[in-house]
Amino acid sequence: MQRITIDPDQLGSSDTLQLTREQTHYLQRVLRLKSGDLFIAQDGAGHQWRSQLMEVSGQAKILSDLAPKPPPASLELVAALPKAGFDDVVRQATELGVTAIYPILSTRTLLKPSPKKIMRWQRIAQEASEQCERGHVPQIFAPESFEHWINNVPNNSGNFFCVARVNAPTLLTRVQSLLVDSPQQSLRVVVGPEGGWTNREITVAIAHGYQQTSLGSGILRATTASLTALAIVSSAREQLI
Amino acid sequence: MQRITIDPDQLGSSDTLQLTREQTHYLQRVLRLKSGDLFIAQDGAGHQWRSQLMEVSGQAKILSDLAPKPPPASLELVAALPKAGFDDVVRQATELGVTAIYPILSTRTLLKPSPKKIMRWQRIAQEASEQCERGHVPQIFAPESFEHWINNVPNNSGNFFCVARVNAPTLLTRVQSLLVDSPQQSLRVVVGPEGGWTNREITVAIAHGYQQTSLGSGILRATTASLTALAIVSSAREQLI
Beta-carbon contacts below 8 Å between A and B: 98
Other CB atoms within 10 Å distance of the CB of residue A40: 17
A118-131, pLDDT tens digit by residue?
999 999 999 999 98
* Cβ–Cβ gap A227/B232 under 8 Å: no
Q: Domain extents for chain B?
A: 3-66, 75-238
Q: d(Cα B71, Cα B93) in Å, to the nearest integer?
A: 17
Query: Which pLDDT score, from 0 to 100, does residue B153 have?
Result: 87
Question: Quick check: A43 pLDDT over 80?
Answer: yes
pLDDT of residue A88: 96
ipTM: 0.88
- Smallest CA–CA separation between B177 and chain A, in Å? 12
Residues B66 and B46: beta-carbon distance below 8 Å: no
Dist. CA A219–CA A166, nearest whole Å: 11
Domain B3-66's class?
mainly beta
Q: How far off is chain B from A220, nearest CA to CA, in Å?
A: 6
Interval B19-32: pLDDT, tens: 999 999 999 998 89
Q: Is-contact B93 B226, C-beta < 8 A?
A: yes
Percent above pLDDT 90 for chain A: 74
Q: Which amino acid is at A230?
A: L
Contacts of B194 (CB under 8 A, 6+ apart): B82, B83, B108, B110, B221, B222
Q: Output the average pLDDT for chain A.
A: 92
High-pLDDT (> 70) share of chain A, %? 100
CATH classification number, A75-238, choose in 2.40.50.140, 3.40.1280.10, 1.10.10.10, 3.40.225.10 = 3.40.1280.10
The confidence score (pLDDT) of residue A218 equals 86
Rounded to whole angstroms, how far apart are CA atoms B76 and B158?
A: 10
**Pairwise CA distance, residues A200 & A146, whole Å:** 11
Residues of B in contact with A224 (CB under 8 A): 92, 95-96, 227
Of residues A71 and B193, more confidence is placed in B193
What pLDDT score was predicted for residue A37?
95
Which residues, including other chains, have CB under 8 Å from residue A90's CB and lie 6 or more apart?
A101, A121, A124, A125, A128, A140
- pLDDT for A70: 86
pLDDT at A18: 94
- Which of B172, B220, B241 has the CB atom closest to A239's CB atom? B172
- Beta carbons of A220 and B170 less than 8 Å apart: no
Cβ–Cβ gap B227/A228 under 8 Å: yes
Nearest chain A residue to B236 by CA: give it: A172
Average pLDDT value for residue range B191-203? 94
Instruction: Give residue A33's pLDDT band: very low, low, confident or very high (50, 70, 90).
Output: very high
The predicted model gives B52-81 an average pLDDT of 92
Cross-chain residue pair B131–A232, CB shorter than 8 Å? no
Chain A residue at shortest CA distance from B95: A220
